[in-house]
Amino acid sequence: MNKTTLAEFLTHAELAEPALRGMITDIAQACKAIAVQVNKGSLLGTMGSLEAQNVQGETQKQLDVISNDLFLQMNQQGGHYAGMASEEMDEPYLIPERYRQHGRYLLLFDPLDGSSNVNLNLSVGTIFSILRCPHGISEPLVMDFLQPGSAQVCAGYALYGSSTMLVLTIGQGVHGFTLDQDSGDFVLTHATMQIAASSNEFAINMARQRWWDAPVQRYIADCQAGSEGPLGKDYNMRWVASMVAEVHRILIRGGVFMYPVDARTREAGGRLRLMYEANPMAWLVEQAGGLASDGQQRILDITPQGLHQRVAVYLGSREEIQRMATYFKA
Ligand code: AHG
Ligand code: MN
Ligand code: MN
Ligand code: MN
């Protein structure tokens, strides 16, 4: 079998920005390093929680911090970035000057998504997003990061599941690579991933139902009514509590993923983070033929107001997200 490695893929891809080759290669290396840490599991004694809380108000896991540090260290050395920002850091990370001085890009990331699952040996991942740095800025400020998702030049995730995968877009479809543990190569196994337009699988944290708004109540009620209800078909439910795993499932076999704003999260704006989670996933989903909305508008059109801003997220199969939009308008 002829295998296309990530390196070959990047050599033959028409890269609008030549620097993407180096940036994606570095990201792949960093994800491999995180995969090793996750994979060793309890052998390293790093499965526990820390005392510290991050800026999100979450208790950090040891592996949140280890993954964050690995991602910073392994991506800054290429000299591509003027700045980086992460779910785990209050402020943008100040890259040492020798690496930052010619950097033309910004890297945003969720170093370990689904980290509540990490000591359960369930799937976790890393989510990343690359933006251009506004011209001439060598010490970027928060406002320089606040670009809409439509401005991303690369977005993707690594999934540390039963195999390790890297799934990414540079605006030319979505392509998935599986880590060959023997050779150390990421091999193209899922070219041009497409989300089925219709589906009958939804993912939502049902435990929060009593706090949902009416449109979400109605959408899920219709799904649950199944073949006896207005939709005339039966639905299935999944909840991994790891957005990377949910989006990956949707890329493979369709479905919808929802994290609404509810009565408990309204003040915060929602649960998931716009810059580290919603934007990169929204671009991947759109590039695979699906839709991603906050209930009112396309996620990629949101003008960010803050680095750690939270949003409602509804993404996945086109027909389902369109139906949900009609419920929000009703
Ligand atoms: P993170 O581990 O990066 O903080 O993100 C967790 C997110 C997301 O992956 C998942 O969809 C959601 O939180 C799970 O939320 P519940 O705790 O409500 O299940
Ligand atoms: Mn977190
Ligand atoms: Mn996350
Ligand atoms: Mn995280």
Q: How far apart are CA 40 and CA 150, in angstroms?
A: 37
Measured from the alpha carbon of residue 86, the closest ligand is 4
pLDDT confidence band for 137 (50 / 70 / 90):
confident
Nearest-CA residue for atom 12 of ligand 1: 241
E strands, the chain, in order: 49-53, 59-61, 81-86, 105-113, 124-132, 154-160, 164-169, 174-179, 186-190, 201-203, 236-237, 256-259, 272-273, 291-293, 310-311, 313-316
Q: Is residue 107 situated within a structural domain?
A: yes
Percent of the chain with pLDDT over 70: 100
36 and 166, same domain (yes or no): yes
CB 115 near ligand 1, within 6 Å: yes
- Considering only CA atoms, give the Rg of the chain: 19
Cα angle 78, 94, 98; round to 5: 45
184 and 221, same domain (yes or no): no
Enclosing domain of residue 251 = 201-329
Q: How far apart are CA 281 and CA 145, in angstroms?
A: 17
Q: Crossing angle, helix 62-76 and helix 19-40, to 10 degrees?
A: 150
Q: Is residue 160 situated within a structural domain?
A: yes
CB 241 near ligand 1, within 6 Å: yes
Nearest-CA residue for atom 14 of ligand 1: 241
Pairing of strands 256-259, 201-203: parallel
- Domain boundary among the residues 170, 190, 210 is at 190
122 and 45, same domain (yes or no): yes
- Chain segment 226-255, per-residue pLDDT in tens: 999 999 999 999 999 999 999 999 999 999
Whether residue 247 contacts residue 257, with contact meaning beta carbons closer than 8 Å, is answered with yes
- Chain segment 83-118, per-residue pLDDT in tens: 999 999 999 999 999 999 899 999 999 999 999 999
ipTM of predicted assembly, 2 dp? 0.97
Q: Is residue 83 situated within a structural domain?
A: yes
Q: Supply 71's token pair.
A: 């991602």
Higher-pLDDT residue of 137, 235: 235
Res 177 pLDDT > 90: yes
Q: Is residue 46 situated within a structural domain?
A: yes
Q: How far apart are CA 124 and CA 143, in angstroms?
A: 30
What is the number of the ligand 1 atom nearest to the C-alpha of 58? 4
| 116, 126, 240, 274, best to mutate for ligand 1 pocket (most atoms within 8 Å of CB) | 116
CB 62 near ligand 1, within 6 Å: no
Measured from the alpha carbon of residue 52, the closest ligand is 2
The CATH number covering residue 210 comes to: 3.40.190.80
What is the number of the ligand 1 atom nearest to the C-alpha of 114? 2
Measured from the alpha carbon of residue 55, the closest ligand is 2
157 and 36, same domain (yes or no): yes
Res 290 pLDDT > 70: yes
**Ligand 4 center to residue 166 CA distance, Å?**
17
What residues are designated binding site?
Answer: 87, 110, 112-116, 205, 277
**Ligand 3 center to residue 99 CA distance, Å?**
27
Nearest-CA residue for atom 6 of ligand 1: 114
Average pLDDT over residues 286-312: 98
- Chain segment 181-201, per-residue pLDDT in tens: 999 999 999 999 999 999 999
Nearest-CA residue for atom 3 of ligand 1: 113
CB 205 near ligand 1, within 6 Å: yes
**Average per-residue pLDDT for the chain:** 96
User: How many domains is the chain built from?
Assistant: 2
Q: What is the pTM of this model?
A: 0.98
